[in-house]
Amino acid sequence: MKEIEEGSSLQLDFTKLRKVAQAASPVLPVVVQDADSREVLVVAYANREALDHTLKTGVATFWSTSRNELWIKGATSGDTLQLVDVRVNCEQNSLLYLVRMVGSGVCHTRDAQGETRRTCYYRSLKEGELTFREGIK
Amino acid sequence: MKEIEEGSSLQLDFTKLRKVAQAASPVLPVVVQDADSREVLVVAYANREALDHTLKTGVATFWSTSRNELWIKGATSGDTLQLVDVRVNCEQNSLLYLVRMVGSGVCHTRDAQGETRRTCYYRSLKEGELTFREGIK
């Protein structure tokens, strides 16, 4: 079990953004939201190429800042995210992708039943501890 | 009129994340979502101090990476964001604040009627142009 992902202790990783910012290609944060349930599913990053690929194919695409390559979410599993809308914030420094899930979830983790979790935000912070929100909307 | 904020041309700012990552205090991206309408309102950044302040006061607080200080959204105007829940993603490198708005909007921009916009994501990208979503859910 990975404590970070499956534990109840808060161990925030403040190093990620610095790594993202040091990637060869400049990126924006992308909030991915389910167009129907309006659940926030994941935050990822996109460069110009990833955005262009998303618009051209209608499939949510990101930039993997660790692998320095296009990351077409679900390309291997078939669980892609079909694009419904792309929104841009006031300062044009972040994106919001509204999507429909082809598969059952976007998170790379699995719940106690072995199912892919719908959203990466499956834990709430309550009195300093992480509590699991499984089955709760 | 600020073309970036009120124009229809896409002029994405890929420099922001680098500036954020260079801030003195390490931060995480925070997605702010309306707990009732489930609209995504804004993406901001928080360091440990901002998260602690949020939890302690129940008012959504961020870290201003440009001013290097706590940024209590709406502290001046009174239009604060009351915290409903804090969620943490799988890898513990981003946060989701569910909030209720005290005022009418979170964006610093105003619509054609002079009203504060509810969300920063008031434009959709359609065929290479930004279209305003005013009045659309």
Structure ipTM: 0.96
pLDDT at A18 over 50: yes
Radius of gyration for the alpha carbons in chain B, expressed in angstroms and rounded:
15
pLDDT band at residue B18 under the 50/70/90 scheme:
very high
* Segment A57-109, tens digit of pLDDT: 999 999 999 999 999 999 888 889 999 999 999 999 999 999 999 988 999 99
A-chain residue closest to B23, CA distance: A18
What's the sign of the alpha-carbon dihedral A109, A112, A118, A124?
A: negative
Measure the N-to-C terminal CA separation of chain A; round to a whole number of Å.
25
Q: Considering only the beta carbons, identify the residue of A4, A17, A109 that sits closest to B29.
A: A17
Give the separation between CA B119 and CA B114, rounded to whole angstroms: 14
3-state secondary structure of B24: coil
Over chain A, what is the mean pLDDT?
Answer: 94
Q: Flag if B133 and A87 touch (Cβ within 8 Å).
A: yes
In chain B, residues with a C-beta closer than 8 Å to the C-beta of A130 are 88
Radius of gyration for the alpha carbons in chain A, expressed in angstroms and rounded:
15
Q: Flag if A123 and B21 touch (Cβ within 8 Å).
A: no
In chain B, residues with a C-beta closer than 8 Å to the C-beta of A110 are none
Q: Considering only the beta carbons, identify the residue of B5, B18, B123 that sits closest to A87.
A: B123
pLDDT band at residue B78 under the 50/70/90 scheme:
confident
Q: Considering only the beta carbons, identify the residue of A11, A43, A88 that sits closest to B123.
A: A88
B-chain residue closest to A10, CA distance: B92
Q: Flag if A12 and B125 touch (Cβ within 8 Å).
A: no
